[in-house]
A and B are shown apart, each in its own frame.
Chain A
Amino acid sequence: MLSLIVFLPLAAALALMALPRLGDGAARWAWVAVAAVDLALVAALWLAYEPPVAGRLAFEERAQWIPGVNSSYHVGVDGLSLPLVAMTAVVFLACAVFALRSNDRPRTQAALFLFLQSVSLGLFVAADLILFFLFFDLSIVGMYFVIAGWGHGDAGRSALKFFLYTFLGSLALLAGFIGLYVAADPHTFDMVDLAEQTPLTGSSTAGALVLAAILLGLAVKTPTVPFHTWLPPAHTDAPAIGSAVLAGVLLKMGTYGFVRIAMPMLPEAWRAWAWVIVVVGIVSVVYGALVALAQTDFKRMVAYTSVNHMGYVVLAVGAAGIVAGDTAQARSVAVTGAVTQMVSHGLVTAALFLVAGVMWDRAGTYDMGAYGGLADPAPRLAALFAVGAFASLGLPGLSGFIAEFQIFTGSIAAAPVTAVALLGILITAALFLRALQRIFTGATQGASAGFGDLRPAELWAIGPLLALSLLIGVLPRPLLDVIEPAAQVLVQLVGR
C-alpha cells in the first residue's frame, strides 16, 4: 500500500516521459488525475490507520536492499509521518490543479512534479537512513530543475545556490548517518533499530559531533537562521507551484528529520544540546519575522515568514529535549504542536505562494508597492489572501492557531524563556495586515488596474488548501488523535 502511494506518481512520470506524442492538455489532466488518485489512496490509508505500538510503524514493508551494509527498503508510517504524507498529497494535487493553466512545457513539468511527489512521499515514509537520504537528495535535484527550468528572473543563479547550499546540508546529514551506522552494533542503517539502540549513548563527544552533523544538514533544509540565505532567492525566482512545493513540502523534510531521526536516535545528545536548539528556534522566529517585515517584495516576505514559522517548530522540538520535573505532558503538547505546525504551514504557505503566482501571472511583479486597491477588481483573490494571511499569523479558528497555541503551551511550561518568541507572532500579524492593506485596500492603482480575478483552476487550487486549514482550525481532533500518541512516544524516547 505505502509503496503504491509512493511510486504511483513516479510510474506516471515515466509514462508521461515515454509518451512524447501526448498532447499538452492530456498531460495536464493526467497529472491532476494521478495526484487525485494518490490523494484518495492516502485518504484510505488514513482511514485504515491504527496507532502502532511504541517504537514500531504501521503499514510496514521491508525488503533487502544492500544487505552488505544492513540497509533495506523499509517503509512505514506513524503519527509523525502520516499527517505529513497527507499534507504532501494535498499540496501536490493543488499544484496540479493550479498548473492546468500553465503553457510552458506542461508534459515535462507534470513529469517533474510527479517525480518530486514520489520523492517527498518516499521521504516521509522511509524507515531506513539511506532510503531517507536517497529521497532527501533527489528532492534537491528535482527542485533544482524546477527552479532552473521554469523559474523567472535570475533563476539559474538561484537554482545553483539552492543546489549547492542544500547539497552541502545533505552531505553533512550523510556524515551523521554514517556516524550512527558505525557506532551501532551490529552496524545498521535501519531507523527503527537505531532508535531502539540509541548507539551513541554514553559517548558525549561523538554523540555531539554526530548530532551536529545531522542538525547542520536538517537546519540547512528547514532552514533556520543562520543557514536560511538560500531560501529567499530560491523562492523569489521559482515558479509558483515550485515555491508552493518547496515551502509546503520540502522544508518539512528538515523539521521531520528532527522528530524522526535526531531526537529518537540521539536522545542523550539532544537533551544536552536542547538549549542551543531552543535558542536557534527563538532567533529564527524573531529574525525571520523582522526581516519579513522589512520586505517590499510579497513573495520574499512569505519566504521569510517560512523561516519564522519553521522557527516555531525548532523551538518546540528543542523544548521537548529540556527534561526537568514532570513536564512530560507539556513537552508532548509541544511536539504535537510542532507536527501540527508542519501540516498547517504546508497548507497555508502553499496557498500564499499560489496567490503570489497569480500576481506574477497577471501583473509580472511581486512588489507590494506596485499594487493598491486590488480587492476591487479581484475580490475572490482578496478573500483567499485574507484567509491565508490570518491562518499564517495564527488567528483562532484556523490551523495556525491550533499549532502555535500548542507549541507555546508546551514550550513555555518546559522552558519559560521561550515566551520571547511570542514576539514573532506579533510581528507576523503586523506584517500580514500591512501587506493586506498595501495590496488590497485603498484606491485601485498601478498594477491592480485591469487585474483579472481568480480563474476556476486557481480558485480550486488555493481554496481547498485554505478550507483544510479552516477545517483543522475548527475540528482539530481527527488530526490531533493521530499525532498525540506518536508525540507521547517521542517524548518518552527523548527522555531515555
Chain B
Amino acid sequence: MRPALLAPEIVLFLGGLAALLGGSFLARTRQWVTRAVTAAALLLAAALAALDLPGPAQVAMEGTFTVDTTTGVARIVAALGTLVVLALASDEIAGTPRESETYALLLFSTTGTLILAGADDLLVVTVGFLLASVPLYGLIGIARTPLGAEAAMKTYLLGALFGILLLTGVTLLYGVTATTSYAELTDRLADAPAGVVAAGVVAVLGGLLFKAGGAPGHFWVPDAAQGAGGTVAAFLTTVPKIGAVIAAYRLVELLPDTLAWPLLVALLAVASMTLGNLAAYWQTDPRRLLGWSTVSQVGYLLVPVAVAGRSDLALPSLLLYLAGYTVTNLSAFAVTTAFPQRRELRSYRGMGRTHPWLGAALVVALLGLVGTPPTVVFVGKLTTTAAAWDAGYAWLAVLVLLNTVVSLFYYLRWIAPLYARQEAAGHRQDADAPGRWSGSTAIGTAAVSLLLGIGAGALWASVSL
C-alpha cells in the first residue's frame, strides 16, 4: 500500500475535513481560522511534495498511483496555485456565510486533481475525476447568483454526461483487456481490437477534456468563469487542468501505434486553441474573456500531450507550461478580483494610470498569456512548440504560432483601455480601492511569472529531474 507516498493528498483531504468541521463550530467572525488551516494544509502538501521531488519514481497503492517527478511537480503547482486562490478568497469571501465550506471544497477538488495527476490506473482516474468534479459543482453554485446557478447547472449536466462517457470508456477498455492498470494496458492494448480500443480511449480522453476545459468538453468554462465568484473562477480555470492534462499525457503515452493517436490529440489541441481564441474575440466581460482564453490555453497544453513519448522535450515542456500557465492565469484573475465591480472591459479605462502597479501586473499577465518573452509562458510555448516540431509535427507548431497571433488581439482589447485617458467627469468609478489581498497577489504572481521566465533554466532543471 505504502500510504506514506500519498502524504500530500492525505494532508489536503484531512485539511478539507478540518476546515469543514471546524467551520461548523466557529463563529462567523472567526472563520478566518479555517482559512489558516487551509493555507497550512496547502503549504504542508507543497513542502512534502518538494521533499519527495528529487527521489526516484515509486508506485503506491498496488501500482495504481505513481509518485514521480510529474506527480511531484503537479502537487507543488496545484497546492501553491490553490494557495494563491485562497489569497483571492481573503478579499472576496472572508466573512461570508459559506466561507469554510468554500475552503473545504477547494481542498477536496485539489485532492481530486492530484489523484488524477498521479493515477496509473483507469479506475483511479475515475475516482480522481469525480473527486475533482463534484466539489466544483458546489463551488460554482455557492455564490447563489442567477448566472452562478445557470453555470452550476450547466457544469453539472455536462460533468455528468462526460463522467458517464469516461466510465463507458473505462468499461470498454476493461472489457477488451481485462485490466485497468496502465502497467498491463501497455502490452494488452496492442493486441486488443483496435475499434473498441479507439472508442474506449476517445471516451476517456473526452472525460479528461471536460475536466481540463478543452474542446469538445469546454462549454461550461466560459459560463462558470463568468457566473461563479472570482475566487472560484480563478480556481476552476487553473487547478483542475493540472491533473486532467497530466492524466491525458499518461494515457496517450501508453497507447500503441495501432491508430494515429498523436494526430487525434493534435487535432483536439488545434480545435481547442482555435475555438477558444475565436470565441474570446468579442467578449466584453473580462472573466468570460479569460474563460475562453483558458480554453485556448488547453489547446496549447495538449500539444506536448500529442507528441507524448516522441520527443524528449514533451514532458518537461508540458510541466513547465503548466506551472507557467497557472501562475500567469491566476495573476490575470487576481486583477479581476481586485476590482470586483469592473465587469466590463471598458470599465478598466484609465486603470493603468490610477493604479500603475496593478496595470503593469495585468499587462505582464496578459502578454504572458499571449506568450511574450521573458514571461514563463513564453518558455513553455517555445519548448512545447519545439517538442511538436521535433516529433515531426511542424504543422502543429505553425498552427500554435498562428493561434498566438490571433489571440493577441483580444488580450490587447483589454490592455488598450488601461492607459487610455480617463473621461473627464462622471465615469470615475475607480474611486473604489482595489482589494488588498487580490492586488498584492496580482502583482506578486506577475512578478513570479517574469522571474520564472528569466530563471527558466532552474525551473526546467526541476521539472526534468
- The chain A residues found within 8 Å of chain B, CB to CB, are 17, 64-69, 130, 133-134, 137-138, 141, 145, 148-149, 156, 160, 163-164, 167-168, 171-172, 174-175, 178-179, 181-182, 187
Contacts and interface: CB of A to CB of B under 8 A. Distances in A.
Contact of B409 (A156, A164, A175, A179): A164
Nearest to B408: A167
A174 B402 CA distance: 11
A174 B461 contact: no
B464 A68 contact: yes
B401 A138 contact: no
Given A130-B382, A178-B386, 13 more contacts: A66-B460, A67-B461, A68-B313, A68-B383, A69-B383, A134-B374, A138-B373, A149-B419, A160-B412, A164-B412, A175-B398, A179-B394, A182-B386
Interface string B363-406: 00001000011100011001101100110001001100110110
Given A67-B461, A68-B457, A167 B405 contact: yes
A141 B367 contact: yes
Contacts of A68: 313, 316, 383, 457, 460-461, 464
A164 B394 contact: no
A188 to B, nearest CB: 11
Nearest to A172: B401
Contacts of B401: 171-172, 174-175
Interface in B409-465: 409, 412, 416, 419-420, 456-457, 460-461, 464
A172 B405 CA distance: 10
Contacts of B460: 66-69
Contact of A178 (B372, B397, B456, B464): B397
B389 A178 contact: yes
Contacts of A137: 372-373
Contacts of B373: 130, 133-134, 137-138
Contacts of A172: 401
A172 B398 CA distance: 8
Sorted nearest first, the 8 A-B pairs with minimum C-beta distance are: A68-B460, A134-B373, A171-B401, A66-B456, A168-B405, A182-B389, A66-B457, A178-B386
Contacts of B383: 66, 68-69
Contacts of B313: 68-69
Contacts of B408: 163-164, 167
B386 A145 contact: no
Contacts of B420: 156
Contacts of B356: 17
B372 A171 contact: no
B446 to A, nearest CB: 14
Given A134-B373, A175-B398, A178-B389, A67 B457 contact: yes
Contact of A171 (B386, B405, B412): B405
Nearest to A136: B373
Contacts of B412: 160, 163-164
Contacts of B316: 68
Contacts of B390: 182, 187
27 contacts: A64-B457, A65-B457, A66-B379, A66-B460, A67-B460, A67-B461, A68-B383, A68-B457, A137-B373, A138-B372, A138-B373, A138-B374, A141-B367, A148-B416, A156-B416, A164-B409, A168-B405, A171-B402, A171-B404, A171-B405, A175-B401, A178-B382, A179-B389, A179-B394, A182-B386, A182-B389, A187-B390
Contact of B386 (A149, A164, A181): A181
Interface string B266-297: 00000000000000000000000000000000
Contacts of A133: 373
Nearest to A183: B389
A69 B405 CA distance: 23
A145 B372 contact: no
A65 B457 CA distance: 5
A141 B404 contact: no
A69 to B, nearest CB: 6
A69 B419 contact: no
